[in-house]
Amino acid sequence: MTAVAEIALRRRGPDSLPDSAFLVSFLLALQILVSLAKALVLFGGLTPQFLIRFSADIVLFFAFVYAVLSFFRLERRYRQTLSAVLGVDIVISLAFLPVGVAGVALGFDIVDFPFVWISLAFDFWFIFIAGSILARSLSQPLIVGVMLEILLVLTSMNIGQLLAPPAEQVTVETA
């Protein structure tokens, strides 16, 4: 886990991780557990929308990384890149979890100021580090990796909205 934490701080690259299907599987299982815990603690439960979006995000992430690495003919770096991004996502999620729990305990609404800004800071940290990992895996400049990661995030958001639109709020007016 030290290597993953150092990748999250940009001290190492994905090449410092082993090329292991077991590591990818382990980190994916851990990522699922952390995401489920985060949804339960911060959002009060699991919704069908969350499960659909989370599943779509995972499938899109695996396909996107493979497609990008294939385009650059670097498929051999696939498992290391997956491990690095999954590991960094776990580290950043675990760093955010105490902040989120404290916010909920203090009565802040998850979708209001200042909580949203703190959440955005963690999201930008992840985008920057995941972009850095992609750039290193592709042997390209940092801006290329960050742009690819932004493309993945925007695509993921749009697909999530299409597959599982937010539930409409029903209000009842009384006379």
Residue-wise pLDDT for 47-91, tens only, equals 888 999 999 999 999 999 999 999 999 999 999 999 999 999 999
* Residue 169 located in a structural domain: no
Rounded Cα distance between 47 and 60, Å, is 20
* Assigned domain for 150 exists: yes
pLDDT average, residue stretch 124-146: 97
Tens of pLDDT, residue by residue over 97-133, are 998 888 888 888 777 778 889 999 999 999 999 999 9
Is residue 76 situated within a structural domain?
yes
Q: Is residue 71 in some structural domain?
A: yes
Predicted TM-score of the model (pTM): 0.90
pLDDT at 100: 87
In the structure, what pLDDT confidence band is assigned to residue 41 with cuts at 50, 70 and 90? Answer: confident
Q: Is residue 170 part of a domain?
A: no
pLDDT value, residue 5: 86
Distances (CA, A) of 158 to 26, 60, 72, 154: 28, 12, 25, 6
Distance CA(3)–CA(148), nearest Å, equals 23
Within-domain flag for 171: no
Cα angle vertex 109, ends 103, 113, to 5°?
85
Tokens at 159, concatenated: 């697909």
Distance between CA atoms of residues 140 and 122, nearest Å: 24
Count of structural domains, the chain: 1
Instruction: Name the CA dihedral angle for 74, 80, 85, 86, rounded to a multiple of 10 degrees.
Output: 140
| Within a domain: 91 | yes
Q: Which domain holds residue 103?
A: 2-163
Per-residue confidence (pLDDT) for residue 109, from 0 to 100 = 79
Residue 118 domain flag: yes
175 compared with 161, residue with greater pLDDT: 161
